[in-house]
């Protein structure tokens, strides 16, 4: 068989091979685009739900008997109100560079966490607010306060999250149960309360209302994936047209 005949025989196999590769690439890119559209719908539904919860009137803090039924999907950011005795002598700090949910704070600092005892004797952990780096963290005599805030759930440490420094009561994730265990606070609720008003007023730590600031770029991502799928298909079409002209 001559060299020309060998090339002619191998050309259909090359075309089918590249066609299969192009088909797989286009299918994957379209799948990614469709997935981004689903994520867009989910993200917008989440933003709407969180906005409603943050704007709703505060409800009484659920009793201890119902704490085990609370979960982040249905209860995160619910506004609650309750009376509790705040204990700040053994409060802990969570290192932060600001907050994605608050625009009124920025820079290095810590969020201050302290235990609070309810009238039924059960304990919850509250985030008193933000203290800029270098500022003093005031402590209070134990007393009963009317507290209003948002129901929040523990964070999980990532691969690169530093370990807590128990000697300095310094943490890098908001985990009220672990804080309570390390600080001898006793048994606490499996959530914490992010206070929306400073206790006492006009003093650090700086508490404040939360706002939804979730990015919603999924439509742009979907357009990008669909555009890449079109580019791959068009490139293969141009190449195939050139092969036919050569033949």
Q: How confident is the prediction along the chain (247 residues), in pLDDT tens digits per residue?
A: 555 555 454 556 677 778 888 889 999 999 999 988 988 887 787 677 777 788 889 999 999 999 999 998 889 889 999 999 999 888 999 998 877 778 788 889 999 999 999 999 999 999 999 998 888 877 788 889 999 999 999 988 878 888 888 888 899 999 999 999 999 999 999 999 999 988 876 678 988 888 877 677 888 888 999 999 999 888 888 877 776 666 6
In the chain, where the domains are located:
3-49+215-246, 78-195
3-state SS, one letter per residue, for 82-119 = EEEEECCCCCEEEEEEECCCCCCCEEEEEEEEEEEEEC
Residue 202 to residues 70, 196, 199, 209, Cα–Cα distance (Å)? 32, 13, 8, 15
């Amino acid at each position: 068989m001559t060299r020309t005949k060998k090339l002619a025989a191998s050309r259909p196999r090359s075309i089918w091979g590249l066609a299969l590769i192009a088909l797989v690439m286009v299918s994957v890119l379209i799948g990614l685009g469709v997935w981004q559209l689903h994520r867009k719908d989910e993200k917008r539904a989440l933003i709407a739900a969180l906005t409603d919860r943050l704007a709703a009137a505060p409800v009484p803090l659920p009793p201890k008997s119902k704490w085990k039924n609370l979960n982040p999907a249905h209860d995160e950011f619910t506004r609650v109100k309750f009376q509790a005795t705040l204990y700040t002598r053994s409060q802990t700090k969570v290192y932060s560079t600001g907050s994605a949910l608050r625009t009124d704070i920025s820079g290095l600092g810590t969020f201050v966490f302290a235990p609070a005892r309810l009238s039924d004797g059960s304990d919850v952990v509250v985030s008193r607010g933000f203290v800029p780096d270098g500022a003093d963290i005031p402590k209070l005599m134990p007393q009963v306060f009317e507290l209003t805030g948002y129901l929040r759930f523990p964070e999980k440490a990532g691969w690169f999250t530093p370990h807590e420094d128990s000697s300095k009561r310094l943490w890098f994730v908001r985990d009220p149960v672990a804080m309570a265990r390390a600080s001898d606070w006793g048994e606490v609720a499996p959530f914490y309360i992010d206070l929306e008003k400073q206790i006492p007023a006009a003093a650090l730590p700086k508490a404040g209302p939360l706002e939804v600031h979730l990015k919603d770029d999924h439509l742009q991502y979907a357009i990008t994936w669909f555009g890449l799928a079109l580019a791959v298909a068009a490139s293969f079409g141009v190449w195939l047209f050139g092969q036919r002209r050569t033949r």
